Amino acid sequence: MGEWQFLGVSALSDEALWQANLWVCVVHFTAALFTIVDNSDVKVPVTASYVAWKERNNPGHHGESCQQGNCYLAVEHATLTVLPDLSLAGLITGSHFLSFAWQFGVLFDGPLRRYYHSQLMLGRNPLRWLEYALSAPLMIVVIAAILGQPDVATLALLGITTSALMAFGYFTEVHYRMRPVSLPHVCGWITFILVWGIVTFTFVLGMNRAATPPPDSVLAVIYPTYFVMLMFFSSFGILQTVHLNADMQERVYLKRRDEYAALKYNAVEMWYSILSLSSKIALSTLLYLLVRARDKMINVDFN
């Protein structure tokens, strides 16, 4: 054991991976429980943009003149009162429980655990990517909301596109051995750039066009939210890139390959667990700090 390493982590036995999953479950459950017990939250009202048709000369009446081209477009913004505000703490709690659920399930002997280990031997983990497809959209919605994106359609599309990004991650693990260049992996990076391009646009626009800049205590949370979460989201793609390159090079095929082939992906799985746990804890911490900054501002205003 230990001849083959992936980013400093040796090929792990199934027992070592079981212990890692146990500790990850404990931390996810503790973080979710803390968020619930702390009972502090930021609720974001969702809005929608729509186009209102108005007559150029008579805004209060739509007659035949409008059909003759005597109209102009005005974009109006309205708050959707039929939808509840987004609970950012609720979304983060949900992401923790999603991570906890599947890793807790594979701790016990049964069909789920046997399926888990059979897939690890093939160099993939569908359970993880399924969880990512559900939890990553919740996280990107929280990130976009913190950075100032209130449009419900944009938030929904960001969530859906992020879920598709996770699907590309899974397809990469399934199909990368068939081609020197993995098309799903390339599509994943393109999708990643599109998602974070929208998030970045919102972030930059909000910082530069706001009539009143946010107070320093809020800026101290908003800026780290963008840069830290961008780092974590990109790190999953970087990890997969390194994994693909390492696994396709001859240097990883050991003389005692049969002994290590079923174990080497366990080291990759360990890194995914570390990144997943770290990113969710970081986002939970940033939201907690944002709530504290907001509460401090409210107390100052009322005192």
pLDDT tens figures, 159-193: 999 999 999 999 998 886 555 567 889 999 999 99
What the block records as the tokens of 120 is 């690890």
Q: Is residue 75 part of a domain?
A: no
Q: Which pLDDT does position 161 carry in this prediction?
A: 97
User: How many structural domains does the chain have?
Assistant: 1
Buried b / exposed e along 210-220 (16+ C-beta atoms within 10 A): eeeebeeebee
Helix axes 111-121, 88-105, angle to 10 degrees: 90
Q: Which helix (H) or strand (E) holds 54?
A: strand 47-55
Q: Is residue 57 part of a domain?
A: no
Range of the domain at 267: 5-46+83-302
Q: Is residue 60 part of a domain?
A: no
Q: Is residue 65 part of a domain?
A: no
CATH of the domain at 125: 1.20.1070.10
Q: Is residue 147 part of a domain?
A: yes
Torsion of CA 100, 103, 106, 112, to 10 degrees: 80
Low-confidence ranges of the chain (pLDDT < 50): 1-2, 250-260, 298-303
Length in residues, the chain: 303
Cβ–Cβ under 8 Å, residues 259 and 2: no
Kindly report the pTM of this predicted structure.
0.84
Q: Which pLDDT does position 195 carry in this prediction?
A: 96
